[in-house]
Amino acid sequence: FSLKVQNVINHHIEESFVYQDNGRTYRIILTPISHQNETLIFIYDITKEIQLNQMKEDFFSNASHELKSPLTTILGYLQMIEEGILTEKSDIEDAFFRITKEAKRMNSIISEMLNLASLEVNQNEKTITDLSIFETTQDILSSFKRDIKQKELKIEIENKDDFKVKMHAMDLYHLISNLVSNAIKYNQQKGKVKITIQKPFFVISDTGIGIPYSEQSRIFERFYRVDKAKSKELGGTGLGLAIVKHVVNNYDLTIELQSKEKEGTTFKVG
């Protein structure tokens, strides 16, 4: 650093460089003062900017990979049909089934990406209203009736003390919907989902596959999935919990996780 300052003084040229210290990143600009052996030093903390750029880079890289996989499958089956490689009716029907499944997966990924983008919009631009946790939960559960029936799940709602929150309607919907979706999706057949509403907390527990302790610190990362094969099979996008975390952060809420493999998972938001 001292050598750079001396170089600026000796040659009267401006110099800029990036410096890292204790996990933070700084941009330092050295500017000589005319006809004086003095230098102005500007120090900018660009740690958040660097982290944000890295997050964006990782997001687009992951998004490209996640969308490329189903698209490759779709194009592959379409090519086999077009070139006459698949001729049996059962094979063609199976191909269309897989094409439809992958197309729906792509649609889910794009939809979730748009949800994340909307959450990054300035909160001041959103319409905030008083929303009932219990009523919102009931509406969301009704939309999952088919999935609940297929898995023969027992749903229990313990409405100890319903309360209202000041939130944008879609933000609350995404928060609860993604937690409910996971509790259903990763549950065991004939399992149980228990939702407890007691001001100021919303708690949802399931009897599903659980999350290994070693993975729990990463589950809110975008596109991160504990079991990629299982998640793909169930139509998971890897964005649901990232959306939940974003909503929690936007409204200064907290989220707690308790989970054990093969026993179930509990999320507590408040």
Q: Could you read off the pLDDT of 151-191 as tens digits, one per residue?
A: 999 999 999 888 999 999 989 999 999 999 999 999 999 99
CA distances to 95, 219, 264 from 214, rounded to whole Å, are 38, 10, 15
Q: 255 forms bridges with which residues in the sheet?
A: 269
Arithmetic mean of pLDDT, 104-119? 78
- Yes or no: say if 91 and 80 are a contact pair by the CB < 8 Å rule: no
Count CA atoms within 13 Å of residue 163 on its CB side.
Answer: 13
**Residue 22, pLDDT score:** 84
User: pTM of the full predicted structure?
Assistant: 0.66
Query: Cα angle at 79 between 94 and 89, to 5 degrees?
Result: 30
Instruction: State how beta strands 201-206 and 264-269 pair.
Output: antiparallel
Question: Cα–Cα distance between 259 and 270 in angstroms, integer?
Answer: 18
Structure tokens given for 21: 């210290």
Structure confidence by residue, pLDDT tens digits, 52-102: 777 667 666 666 767 787 888 899 999 999 899 988 999 999 999 989 988
**Residue 12, pLDDT score:** 76
Residue type, 254: T
pLDDT-derived band at 15 (thresholds 50, 70, 90) equals confident
Structure confidence by residue, pLDDT tens digits, 39-65: 788 888 888 888 777 766 766 666 676
**Residue 235, pLDDT score:** 57
Higher pLDDT, 224 or 196: 196
pLDDT at 229 > cutoff 70: no
Query: Cα angle at 252 between 246 and 258, to 5 degrees?
Result: 70
Question: Cα–Cα distance between 184 and 202 in angstroms, integer?
Answer: 17
**Residue 232, pLDDT score:** 57
CA-wise closest residue to 156 among 172, 182, 138, 131: 138
